[in-house]
Amino acid sequence: MIEMQVMTRPDPAQIAPSPTQWRQAMGCFPTGVTIVTTWDELADGRPDPVGSTINAFCSVSLDPPLLLICLDLKNPIRRALERTRLFGVNILCSDSHRMAMRFASEPLNDRFVEFDWGAAEGGAPRLHAAPVFLDCQVQDIHAAGDHLVIIGRGVGAHIDPQPAPLLYHRGAFPRLSGQ
């Protein structure tokens, strides 16, 4: 009887958690916080740096160097990233909470105002306040539900002596004890 239960795959549509429940469950997993950057094109053809706060980020492979990010289909940097096929991952430190919120809510083309940045060797915009920067080219894009899984191939990595990271857990930015 127990064996039968283990062998039977229930219909996911009948038992699936709601998007809200899924988001709540995923939010229990603590992560760091990044800002993913690339270039938009203004109406007059000039390039304009754009970015989005992203915590769905992880390492994939060391040789070759690969990482992945998950991007909401509605994320405003999506088109720019698909067009340029290059992006940077700026890993934030604990005092960059305001920057994280700005890159999650301001109008797309206003997000870099106030912050120091420059183009990295591989081409992507680098935010100088971020202690770690990973310069990437898009290797693959996989559709997955309401997100895209974007595999980036590293073409550069800059690491400053690392201060404490910005953390994200259950919708808040907690501090590590001792900070």
Ligand X SMILES: Cc1cc2nc3c(=O)[nH]c(=O)nc-3n(C[C@H](O)[C@H](O)[C@H](O)COP(=O)(O)O)c2cc1C
Q: Which residues bind ligand X (CB under 6 A)?
A: 33, 52-56, 70-72, 75-76, 100, 104-105, 168
State the minimum distance, in angstroms, from the CB of residue 163 to ligand X: 18
State the minimum distance, in angstroms, from the CB of residue 92 to ligand X: 10
Tell me the residue nearest to ligand X as measured from the CB: 56
CB atoms within 10 A of CB 155: 17
The distance of Cα 78 from the centroid of its chain, to the nearest Å, equals 11
State the minimum distance, in angstroms, from the CB of residue 99 to ligand X: 11
Identity of the residue, 22 or 121, whose beta carbon is nearer to ligand X in the bound complex: 22
Identity of the residue, 79 or 121, whose beta carbon is nearer to ligand X in the bound complex: 79
CA angle 131, 136, 141 (to 5 degrees): 130
How is 48-90 classified by DSSP, letter by letter? EEEEEEE--EEEEETTTTEEEEEEETT-TTHHHHHHH-EEEEE
